[in-house]
Amino acid sequence: MVRSPCVSVGRERAERVRRELLRAGLLRTDLRPRREGERVLFPVTDPGALGGLLGDLGAELTWSEFEEVPRRPRSLREAVEGIPEELLNEVPSSFDVVGDIAVIHIPPALEPYAAELGRAVLKMSPSIRVVLGEAGPVSGEFRTREYVHLAGERRTHTVHRENGCVFEVDLARAYFSPRLSGERSRVVSMVREGERVLDMFSGVGPFAIQIARHRGVPVTAVELNPDAYRFLVRNVALNRVERLVEAVNEDARRVAASRPSAYDRVIMNHPSASLEFLREAMIAAREGATLHVYGFASSVADWEWKVRSRLEELGRVPSGLTVRKVREVSASRIIAVADVTL
Ligand SMILES: C[S@@+](CC[C@H](N)C(=O)[O-])C[C@H]1O[C@@H](n2cnc3c(N)ncnc32)[C@H](O)[C@@H]1O
């Protein structure tokens, strides 16, 4: 209990006084107001500043004991319990949130304390229901990852909201990263009326669906992973863009090669393999089209060099090429995107 100056007021006027004190910035929010018979006591920060407030509302100034309001920890380091002092600086400063699932990277030194990390995430974030730990890298053709359950409910399925759209996803079965949300907005904002768009590696549909929904243009979304494709179809329906999005469960190489000059914009969000699909992407793109080519690189200049070299191999000189960093993957690796105009 904490002793504090407070305003005592009859119950019938309590709500009005609470609002006045809040508005004046005088209510202590770290202490819980309490009832005493027919009166309510509000702890205040600066009794000298109350001025005319008391008399006007029939309230009086006094002192009393109050219970502290438990404060929600603001960082994982603050929330975590049971981790030795010398390992505290290994505690990650952030985690990804997909729907109501938190995904956390567990540094090797903290593996024995993974459950403590999970509990700390739940303590910090009331909207999180599941905490998963990364149990390996994103890998394989379908770019999925293994997870370990750390805390909360036992599931990997959730519904995520991004830029006004909803996406159902099962993280153990299909790729999805909330970290690309800004990049998706950038691409959506570049799409112009009348365009036809090909999303060669659509996953559960975040690029394709946001483009259809916000730009109203037709999009072909290609995805090879049958599980991701199932979510893509579901998300197309959830976002009511069935008339604009054609979902295809096939190899993007075959789809692109079979539709010559059909598209004004081609999205190649497959950083570990996009350059292997560039020949077919150029078949599907009409003259003057834009390709967004994503890749892992050591720097922006490194990705520009890789894209230019591949274009040269394919005998193509682009009319425009700009490269930017999308995000850092590690200290020495980034994901970059080249916007190539043919
Ligand atoms: C990095 S993920 C990108 C997903 C999506 N663009 C997003 O923003 O969430 C790459 C996707 O390409 C899919 N993929 C891999 N090879 C493919 C191919 N040959 N044809 C079509 N999709 C493919 C994977 O299954 C995976 O879902």
Is residue 54 over pLDDT 80?
A: no
Q: Indicate the Cα dihedral angle 107, 167, 190, 289, nearest 10°.
A: 100
Segment 230-253 mean pLDDT = 98
Q: What is the 203 CA–ligand 1 centroid distance (Å)?
A: 5
Residue closest to 257 by CA, chosen among 307, 233, 222, 298? 222
For the sheet with 60-68, list strands across it.
31-32, 60-68, 2-10, 39-43, 34-36
Segment 332-341 mean pLDDT = 97
Residue 241: both structure tokens together: 């863009």
Is residue 72 over pLDDT 90?
A: no
pLDDT of residue 15: 92
pLDDT of residue 73: 86
C-alpha span between 99 and 104 (Å, rounded) = 14
pTM of the model: 0.84
Residue 162: both structure tokens together: 């991004």
Q: Atom 9 of ligand 1 has which residue's CA nearest to it?
A: 176
Give the ligand 1 atom nearest the CA of 251. 20
Q: Atom 24 of ligand 1 has which residue's CA nearest to it?
A: 142
Q: What is the 223 CA–ligand 1 centroid distance (Å)?
A: 6
pLDDT of residue 194: 96
Is residue 52 over pLDDT 80?
A: no
pLDDT digits (tens, 9 = 90+) for 111-151: 999 999 999 999 999 899 999 999 999 999 999 999 999 99
Task: Note whether 95 and 122 are within 8 A (CB).
Answer: no
| Residues within a 6 A CB radius of ligand 1 | 141-143, 175-176, 180, 201-203, 206-207, 222-225, 228, 251-253, 269-270
**Structural domains of the chain ordered from first start:** 2-68 (3.30.70.2580), 76-155 (3.30.300.110), 179-341 (3.40.50.150)
C-alpha span between 67 and 2 (Å, rounded) = 6
* Rg of the chain on CA atoms, in Å: 27
CA 270 to chain centre: 19
Query: Cβ contacts of residue 232 below 8 Å, gap of 6+?
Result: 202, 203, 204, 205, 208, 221, 223, 247
Q: Which position has the token pair 């920060």?
A: 45
